[in-house]
Amino acid sequence: MRRDPDPDRRVDRGGMVEITEKPSVGRRAVASGLIRLEESTVEAIKNGEVEKGDVLTVARVAAIQAVKETPRQIPMCHPIPITGVEVAFELLPDRIRATVAVTSVGKTGVEMEALSGVSAALLNVWDMVKSREKDETGNYPTTMVDEIRVVEKRKGKAGESFCPGSSSSSNGDPNGGHRRANDGSSRR
Amino acid sequence: MRRDPDPDRRVDRGGMVEITEKPSVGRRAVASGLIRLEESTVEAIKNGEVEKGDVLTVARVAAIQAVKETPRQIPMCHPIPITGVEVAFELLPDRIRATVAVTSVGKTGVEMEALSGVSAALLNVWDMVKSREKDETGNYPTTMVDEIRVVEKRKGKAGESFCPGSSSSSNGDPNGGHRRANDGSSRR
Amino acid sequence: MRRDPDPDRRVDRGGMVEITEKPSVGRRAVASGLIRLEESTVEAIKNGEVEKGDVLTVARVAAIQAVKETPRQIPMCHPIPITGVEVAFELLPDRIRATVAVTSVGKTGVEMEALSGVSAALLNVWDMVKSREKDETGNYPTTMVDEIRVVEKRKGKAGESFCPGSSSSSNGDPNGGHRRANDGSSRR
Amino acid sequence: MRRDPDPDRRVDRGGMVEITEKPSVGRRAVASGLIRLEESTVEAIKNGEVEKGDVLTVARVAAIQAVKETPRQIPMCHPIPITGVEVAFELLPDRIRATVAVTSVGKTGVEMEALSGVSAALLNVWDMVKSREKDETGNYPTTMVDEIRVVEKRKGKAGESFCPGSSSSSNGDPNGGHRRANDGSSRR
Amino acid sequence: MRRDPDPDRRVDRGGMVEITEKPSVGRRAVASGLIRLEESTVEAIKNGEVEKGDVLTVARVAAIQAVKETPRQIPMCHPIPITGVEVAFELLPDRIRATVAVTSVGKTGVEMEALSGVSAALLNVWDMVKSREKDETGNYPTTMVDEIRVVEKRKGKAGESFCPGSSSSSNGDPNGGHRRANDGSSRR
Amino acid sequence: MRRDPDPDRRVDRGGMVEITEKPSVGRRAVASGLIRLEESTVEAIKNGEVEKGDVLTVARVAAIQAVKETPRQIPMCHPIPITGVEVAFELLPDRIRATVAVTSVGKTGVEMEALSGVSAALLNVWDMVKSREKDETGNYPTTMVDEIRVVEKRKGKAGESFCPGSSSSSNGDPNGGHRRANDGSSRR
Nearest neighbour of A139 by CB, restricted to B131, B136, B150: B150
Is E58 at the interface with chain B, CB within 8 A? no
Rounded to 10 deg, the angle between the A55-73 and F55-73 helix axes is 110
Residue-level pLDDT at D162: 45
State the average pLDDT for chain C.
84
Residues of E in contact with C81 (CB under 8 A): 81
Whether residues D138 and C74 touch (CB distance < 8 A) is answered with no
How many angstroms separate the Cα of E66 from the Cα of each of A70, C111, E123, E125, E187?
A: 21, 23, 11, 14, 21
Indicate the pLDDT class of residue F6, thresholds 50, 70 and 90: low
Q: Model confidence over B47-62: pLDDT tens digits?
A: 999 999 999 999 999 9
Q: Model confidence over F9-28: pLDDT tens digits?
A: 677 777 899 999 999 999 99
Q: What residue type is C28 in one-letter code? A: R
Distance of CA D78 to the CA centre of its chain: 15
Active site residues of D: 127
Query: For B24-155, CATH number?
Result: 3.30.70.640
What 3-state class would DSSP assign to F116?
helix
Q: ipTM beyond 0.90?
A: no
The C-alpha of F150 sits at a distance from chain A's nearest C-alpha, in angstroms, of 10
Is D74 at the interface with chain A, CB within 8 A? no
How many angstroms separate the Cα of A135 from the Cα of each of B20, B108, B180, B185, B187?
A: 24, 17, 10, 10, 11
Residue-level pLDDT at C22: 93
Query: Could you tell me the residue ranges of all domains in chain F?
Result: 24-155
Report the share of chain E in percent with pLDDT over 90: 72
Task: State the Cα–Cα distance between residues D33 and D100, nearest whole angstrom.
Answer: 9
Is A14 at the interface with chain C, CB within 8 A? no
Q: Which residue has the higher pLDDT, B169 or A27?
A: A27
In D, minimum Cα distance to E60 occurs at D58
Q: Model confidence over C70-86: pLDDT tens digits?
A: 999 999 999 999 999 99
Task: State the Cα–Cα distance between residues A16 and F13, nearest whole angstrom.
Answer: 38
Q: Which helix (H) or strand (E) holds F102?
A: strand F95-106
User: Has residue C159 got a pLDDT over 80?
Assistant: no
Q: Model confidence over E35-83: pLDDT tens digits?
A: 999 999 999 999 999 999 999 999 999 999 999 999 999 999 999 999 9
Residues 150-179 of D with CB under 8 A from E: none
User: Has residue F147 got a pLDDT over 80?
Assistant: yes
How many angstroms separate the Cα of F6 from the Cα of each of B65, B92, C1, F20, F32?
A: 52, 75, 51, 34, 53
Is C4 at the interface with chain E, CB within 8 A? yes
Q: Are strands A15-16 and C95-106 parallel, antiparallel or unpaired?
A: unpaired
The C-alpha of E159 sits at a distance from chain B's nearest C-alpha, in angstroms, of 14
Residue-level pLDDT at E14: 79
The C-alpha of C27 sits at a distance from chain A's nearest C-alpha, in angstroms, of 23
Neighbours of C94 (CB within 10 A): 15
Distance of CA A60 to the CA centre of its chain: 11
Return the half-sphere exposure (C-beta side, CA atoms, 13 A cut-off) of residue F112: 30
Whether residues A15 and F84 touch (CB distance < 8 A) is answered with yes
Residues of C in contact with D148 (CB under 8 A): 144-146
Residue-level pLDDT at F17: 93
Q: Model confidence over F115-130: pLDDT tens digits?
A: 999 999 999 999 999 9
Q: Model confidence over A59-111: pLDDT tens digits?
A: 999 999 999 999 999 999 999 999 999 999 999 999 999 999 999 999 999 99
- Which string of b and e fits B86-116 if b means at least 16 CB within 10 Å? bbbbbbbeebbbbbbbbbbbbbbbbbbbbbb
Task: State the Cα–Cα distance between residues D155 and D27, nearest whole angstrom.
Answer: 4
Residue-level pLDDT at D174: 36
Spell out, as residue ranges, where chain D has pLDDT lower than 50: 1-5, 7, 161-188
How many angstroms separate the Cα of D175 from the Cα of each of B187, D100, D156, E153?
A: 56, 14, 21, 55
The mean pLDDT value for A169-177 works out to 36
> Nearest 10 degrees: CA dihedral of C172, C175, C181, C187?
70
The mean pLDDT value for E148-156 works out to 94
Q: Model confidence over E95-121: pLDDT tens digits?
A: 999 999 999 999 999 999 999 999 999
Neighbours of A60 (CB within 10 A): 33
User: Has residue B14 got a pLDDT over 60?
Assistant: yes
Is D54 at the interface with chain E, CB within 8 A? yes
D187: exposed, middle or buried (Cβ count in 10 Å: 0-12, 13-18, 19+): middle
Considering C4, C12, C94, C127, which one is annotated as catalytic?
C127
Task: State the Cα–Cα distance between residues F109 and F30, nearest whole angstrom.
Answer: 11
Residues of D in contact with F72 (CB under 8 A): 65, 68-69
In B, minimum Cα distance to A54 occurs at B14
Residue-level pLDDT at C167: 40
Report the share of chain C in percent with pLDDT over 90: 72
- Cβ atoms C55, C129 nearer than 8 A: yes
Considering B54, B94, B127, B146, which one is annotated as catalytic?
B127
Considering A6, A12, A54, A127, which one is annotated as catalytic?
A127
Indicate the pLDDT class of residue C137, thresholds 50, 70 and 90: confident
Strand ranges in chain A using DSSP code E only, listed in sequence order: 11-12, 15-16, 25-36, 82-92, 95-106, 144-155
Q: Which of B67-76, C142-151, E164-173 comes out lowest in average pLDDT? A: E164-173
User: Has residue F181 got a pLDDT over 80?
Assistant: no
Residue-level pLDDT at B168: 35
- Residue E4 has φ and ψ, to the nearest 5°, of -100, 125
User: Has residue F40 got a pLDDT over 80?
Assistant: yes
How many angstroms separate the Cα of D65 from the Cα of each of D19, D102, F18, F80?
A: 24, 12, 15, 14
Q: Model confidence over A101-141: pLDDT tens digits?
A: 999 999 999 999 999 999 999 999 999 999 999 999 889 99
- Cβ atoms B185, A138 nearer than 8 A: yes
Residues of C in contact with D65 (CB under 8 A): 72-73
Q: For B52, which DSSP code?
A: T
State the average pLDDT for chain B.
84
- Which string of b and e fits E23-59 if b means at least 16 CB within 10 Å? ebbbbbbbbbbbbbbbeebbebbbeeebebbbbbbbb
User: Has residue B5 got a pLDDT over 70?
Assistant: no
Active site residues of F: 127
Q: Which helix (H) or strand (E) holds E85?
A: strand E82-92
Task: State the Cα–Cα distance between residues E13 and F64, nearest whole angstrom.
Answer: 23
Indicate the pLDDT class of residue A8, thresholds 50, 70 and 90: low
F9: exposed, middle or buried (Cβ count in 10 Å: 0-12, 13-18, 19+): middle
Residues of E in contact with B65 (CB under 8 A): 72, 75
Report the share of chain B in percent with pLDDT over 90: 72
Q: Model confidence over A22-68: pLDDT tens digits?
A: 999 999 999 999 999 999 999 999 999 999 999 999 999 999 999 99
F178 is in an annotated binding site: no
Residue-level pLDDT at F159: 52
Residue-level pLDDT at A3: 46
Q: Which helix (H) or strand (E) holds B16?
A: strand B10-16
Q: For D163, which DSSP code?
A: -
User: Has residue E142 got a pLDDT over 80?
Assistant: yes
Whether residues A180 and B153 touch (CB distance < 8 A) is answered with no
What 3-state class would DSSP assign to F158?
coil
